[in-house]
Chains A and B, each alone.
Chain A
Amino acid sequence: MDLRLNEDQEMFKKVAADFVQAEAPSTMLTQQFLKKETFLPDLYAKIAGLGWLGMLVPEQYGGAGLSYLDCGVVFEELGRAPVPGPVFSSGVLAAQIVLDGGSEAQKQELLPAICGGDAVVIPAIGDHGAHWGPETVATTCSQSGGTLTLQGTKRHVYDAEGATAFLCAVRGGDGAVSVVLVDRNAPGVTVTPHNGFMVSVSEVSFDGVQVPAANLIGAAGAGWELLDKAAERAIPILCAYKVGACQEIYEFTVRYTNERRAFGQLIGRFQRVQDHCVELSIHMDRARMATYETLWELGEGMPAEAGIHESKAAASEGYHQACSYSHMVHAGPGTDYLHPLMVHSVLAHTLYQYLGTPDYHKRRMVDALYPNT
């Protein structure tokens, strides 16, 4: 047992932390979130330049071929900002889907472009958005000769704004789910950003969109298994991002208890306020410990299914709760959209159900541990 980062990871952490401070300060992020502009091409290009868009992708496909823990360490720092944009959705999730399901030619074509930031490939999976599972895929796909025709609307697609292509989950005539690569500019594709208490989420409709049958990623009808397996490996990286967010919230919340005075003393002297910080720390540490243990399990090639779903439940709930407890401590000032807490608060709500709600993942965790025969 050893809870320390290795030397490389300490270096990754420092580079990422310095990057976040220089390139994504909270003063900038609050403005961007207020405008709901979270795909920032310049920032994204810099991230690509640092090699953070393909950390898990083997070097032969333009990635860095690093470990899950290495990648998690960087994403934890990105989450502290939180750095917005499709760093996870394209650089990790889409890359894993292509890596698992793509033909050699597709991998050669897509992965270097994803890692270099030239292609932003966004998974568009459930039509209903809030949940995760094959039953959420309703967009239809019919084949005629060498052409596939897609019809349907994905209600909530995360990071669709900057997409150059979508990995669209579709249902064929036989009812089975497949994954199809769709160019963002194909006729019939419409991206409509959502307004609301969330960011980076759009409705994406595919209205009679025609794509070559060669755009199938993976075998026809085997799409759900492909998506689920790839998502399982990607999810702990997203969790690390949320852990970083919780860490940042914890730190600025504790700092605030040492600055703000009320009733003639620092608010941190009040035991009620201390209690909020205790709960915040528990949510943060619960997510952190589950996530890092799972990243380690994945890296070791050990069975990690239960840990993956546990981490997702703990991190989504944890991020959400960390914000709530921080709001209790910050009161009025924390509700100003120009306060760093608001960036996190909006994102925590956005990500809560992304790739499945905490309750969904808790059930998956129990199913993994105690299969229901």
Chain B
Amino acid sequence: MDFNLQEDSPEMTEFRKEVRAWMEENMKGSEHLRWSASWSTREDEEEYGFRRGLGEKLGKKGWLFPMFPVEYGGAGLTVDHQFVLETELARYGLNLTHIFYTLARIVAPVALHWGTEEQKREFLPPIARGEIVVWQVLTEPQSGSDVANCQTRAIRDGDDYIVTGQKVMVGHHLPPDVLWTLVCTDPDGKRHENLSWLHIPANLPGITIQHMHLMMGIKNAVFFDGVRVPAKYLIGGENNGWKVAHTHLELEHGGDGRVGTDPVVDRVVDYCRNHEVGGKPLIEDPHVRDIIADMILEINTVNRMNRRIFWHRFVKEPHAYGGAQFRYYQRMVRLRNGERLQKIMGADALIPDHGVHEVLDFEYVIRSGPGQLHGGGTLDTDRLIFARRAGIGRQTREKAPDTV
């Protein structure tokens, strides 16, 4: 076993030097724009612009999807390179494909897996180069966790599909370039055999996007009113959309993993060192230290689960129940941490604007706590998937799909 995230072969040591120097140069003056849980839901143009810019620069080098073939916009590198890149970005609290919220981390591997050669050549390079924003738009007013209950209709008409329907609670505050979505192509067909997966350019006539103001921040409703989508944008074949969704959802449901760590504990400790009660810094209060202890144990577990999933994914032995377990646990930890922050900081934890970037997230952790429990599927779907993968109440264990 080897838990070292920084020690490499001579070749990787050279690569790490190159990446580190590149990051230092490109992060200059932007070091304050570190990892933040809330950034995608805030309307902070500076931060958003920085992330997009960094993403594009990484994309130009093929480093945004380093393992993708060069012809699809990647760099054709190895898992070791990917690991070096991830760990170097983690030094800044960043990680590769979360840099800007495009959902590309999910969309791109799905396109690689299910797309035709022509589709891969068209869709993947702009994603891999960080040039476009892709939203996944799955949730509908009547189908949340039950994604397969999709009502948005797509009717074949010549070389097009005509799409009509509504998706909700998707995306973020800046507009998308492309929408990835599930549509119903056979209303009389059997469940799971009646759906198709479409790549829809967001500028097609008939698409309306409206902000929704939710607990977690800005999301959107997307209306499709007789939108003509070229049939060549069908991914994975007609009525095969559920299988495509399966790959997609595995990645969304914790199957992607990451090596970076959640810095919330360090930020809490910083706060406790800099705030006094009765002339003593909070960090010296035994009760506060006990709360911090519980946070550390849980956050360390979240981080280790995430790294374990990452490792299993890239050695191509996907961890069967790891994703579902991680996703359930991580969201419960976030909810508990929200309350812990209030125990330590009181009402300070509820104020987003301290003028100190590092503590901005506390308010978001608390506010989004209950809301993030169901994003992408409820806690109950996570536990259901866990049961299938772990073989609880069933002899055959469902395998995790290959997601690289």
> Do most interface residues of chain B lie in helix, strand or loop, or is the interface mixed?
helix
Chain A residues with a Cβ closer than 8 Å to the other chain, count: 44
Kindly state whether residue B364 has any CB partner on chain A within 8 Å: no
Stretch at the interface among A12-20, A156-164, A203-211, A282-290: A282-290
Interface centre among B2, B380, B387, by most A CB within 10 Å? Answer: B387
Whether B3 lies near A1 (C-beta < 8 A) is: yes
Residues 363-403 (chain B) with a chain A CB within 8 angstroms: 380, 383-384, 386-387, 390-395
| CB-defined contacts of B283 to chain A, threshold 8 Å | 370, 372
Kindly state whether residue B289 has any CB partner on chain A within 8 Å: yes
Residues 304-336 (chain B) with a chain A CB within 8 angstroms: 304-305, 307-308, 311-312, 321, 325, 328-329
Whether B392 lies near A365 (C-beta < 8 A) is: no
Kindly state whether residue B347 has any CB partner on chain A within 8 Å: no
Kindly state whether residue B290 has any CB partner on chain A within 8 Å: yes
Kindly report which residue of chain B lies nearest to residue A359, judged by CB atoms.
B290
Task: State which size class the interface on B falls in.
Answer: 35 or more
Whether B290 lies near A274 (C-beta < 8 A) is: no
| CB-defined contacts of A313 to chain B, threshold 8 Å | 293, 297
| CB-defined contacts of B2 to chain A, threshold 8 Å | 1-2, 296
What mask results when residues 247 to 267 of chain A are scored 1 for a CB within 8 Å of chain B, else 0? 000000010011000000111
| CB-defined contacts of B307 to chain A, threshold 8 Å | 1
Picked from A258, A269, A271, A289, the residue with its CB within 8 Å of the CB of B304 is A289
Docked pose: A265 CA to B294 CA in angstroms: 38
Whether A290 lies near B300 (C-beta < 8 A) is: yes
Kindly report which residue of chain B lies nearest to residue A300, judged by CB atoms.
B4
Docked pose: A339 CA to B380 CA in angstroms: 31
Whether B1 lies near A268 (C-beta < 8 A) is: no
| CB-defined contacts of B393 to chain A, threshold 8 Å | 257-258, 265-270, 273-274
Residues 333-360 (chain A) with a chain B CB within 8 angstroms: 359
Docked pose: A50 CA to B361 CA in angstroms: 54
| CB-defined contacts of A314 to chain B, threshold 8 Å | 297, 301
In the complex, besides A258-B395, A296-B3, A363-B293, 17 extra interface pairs with C-beta distance below 8 angstroms are: A258-B393, A265-B393, A266-B394, A271-B383, A271-B387, A273-B392, A273-B393, A274-B393, A277-B390, A278-B386, A285-B305, A285-B325, A289-B304, A313-B293, A362-B293, A366-B290, A370-B283
Query: Contact residues of B with A, CB < 8 Å?
Result: 1-5, 83, 259, 269, 283-284, 289-290, 292-294, 296-297, 300-301, 304-305, 307-308, 311-312, 321, 325, 328-329, 380, 383-384, 386-387, 390-395
Query: Contact residues of A with B, CB < 8 Å?
Result: 1-6, 69, 254, 257-258, 265-271, 273-275, 277-278, 281-282, 285-286, 289-290, 292-293, 296-297, 300, 310, 313-314, 359, 362-363, 365-366, 369-370, 372
